[in-house]
Amino acid sequence: MLIDTHCHIHDADYPLDITETISRARLADVQQLICVGTDQNNSKLAVELASKNDDLYAAVGVHPHEAKGGWDEIVNLLNSQNQLIIAVGEIGLDYHYNHSPHDVQIQALKAQIELALKYDLPIIFHVREAFDDFWPVFDSYSSAGQRIRGVLHSFTDSAENLAAGLKRGLYIGVNGYSTFVRDESQKAMFNSIPLSKILLETDAPYLTPAPFRGKVNEPAFVRNVAEHLSNIRQIPYDEVAKITSENARALFKI
């Protein structure tokens, strides 16, 4: 069994039929999916889709791009104590596009980390070109004796930041990008991630893996990420599926 730990098939503009998408995932042995929110309304859509389908779960949060829009509805969703909400995310810092000011992004990150700690939920982090500001925020909670559990979603950064994340006990989200990356240093970085710390994800509809480049990404394709990992590391596919699924269940309690 495989688990897609990060997809956006609940998005209002997701271009594929949802029922058929979920059916194809089941046929590919992708039995559990986590729909990850990116803003307040999108998080509500994630919860709604999860409530209509077995083995679908939701993460609720405001992406750094949308941080200037606030996060009050995330508080309301968490207050509902819906058992299908199994994480806070995706939250973090993104200095590549700067759709929200840096100070607003940091404020939103801190507020949502505190919500995750309050409700004892893991966090799905999105960090892009912003680790210099991210680690001090993260460490400020650890130094106060609070333990953050989470994953660095769609990690494509340096070996140094990989080591920093692993040192802090974080899981690493690996998706289709790993199947077509050309940079040799990034290939080496991906190959160095301990299997015990990898979560498989698609980020559907984005980052479609080889050999389906050019098509809309979907949860069924997480199988291709697992197969690529098996081939590159010369590890039996069943072992990759087993360990990465165990990792997902350990973090998200699903």
3-class DSSP state of 198: strand
3-class DSSP state of 130: coil
Q: How far apart are CA 28 and CA 127, in angstroms?
A: 30
Among the listed residues 195, 203, 187, the one whose alpha carbon sits nearest the alpha carbon of residue 244: 195
Containing structural domain, residue 51: 2-252
Number of domains present in the structure of the chain? 1
* pTM of structure: 0.97
pLDDT in tens, 28-83: 999 999 999 999 999 999 999 999 999 999 999 999 999 999 999 999 999 999 99
- What CATH number corresponds to the domain at position 193? 3.20.20.140
Quote the DSSP letter at residue 216.
P
The pLDDT score that the predictor gives to residue 144 is 74
Q: How far apart are CA 67 and CA 64, in angstroms?
A: 5
The pLDDT score that the predictor gives to residue 248 is 98
% pLDDT > 70, the chain: 100
Q: How far apart are CA 108 and CA 102, in angstroms?
A: 10
CB 43 within 8 A of CB 77: yes
- Alpha-carbon dihedral sign for residues 49, 50, 55, 58: positive
pLDDT in tens, 179-225: 999 999 999 999 999 999 999 999 999 999 999 999 999 999 999 99
What pairs with residue 89 in β-bridges?
124
CB 18 within 8 A of CB 48: no
